[in-house]
Amino acid sequence: MSGAFYRVDKFVVPAAAREEFLVKVMMTHKLLEAQEGFIDHRVLEQVAGPGEFNFVTIAEWENTEVVERARAAVAAAHKAANFDPQEMFARLGIRADIASYKPVAA
């Protein structure tokens, strides 16, 4: 798929897990920033409203091809750091909804 591409991850993070979660998210986003094809990212924390997801991360990429390379680079960095995101989610009670999006043509 060519054109702008977004990875949008939504999380339910218990209050007791907030600090560890944010440290790991920021670490991962630093890795993303160094990848070819990276455009921008945001980490958002819910401050109001009834939604269940209290954190959302959005990463913008040039296209889907660069995302696959970035995913592999991040997985390798996590392995080298002995960090397993799924283990952390299970241990801290974090739930995630992870998906990819493309802009809607006007």
Q: Look up the CATH number of the domain holding residue 40.
A: 3.30.70.100
What is the value of pTM for the model shown? 0.90
- In total, how many domains does the chain have? 1
Is residue 64 a part of any domain in this protein?
Answer: no
Residue 16 domain boundaries: 1-57+94-105
One pLDDT digit (tens) per residue for the chain, 106 residues: 567 899 999 999 999 999 999 999 999 999 999 999 999 999 999 999 999 999 999 999 998 889 889 999 999 999 999 999 999 999 999 999 999 999 888 7
On whether residue 19 sits in a domain, the answer given is: yes
Give yes or no for a contact between 20 and 92, defined as CB atoms under 8 angstroms apart: yes
Q: Which residues contact 19 (CB under 8 A, 6 or more apart)?
A: none
Q: Could you tell me if residue 66 is inside a domain?
A: no
Instruction: For residue 79, tell me if it sits in a domain.
Output: no
pLDDT of residue 2: 63
Domain contains 22: yes
11 touches 96 (CB < 8 A): yes
Alpha carbon separation from 25 to 1, 50, 65 (Å, rounded): 26, 23, 22
**Per-residue pLDDT at 33:** 94
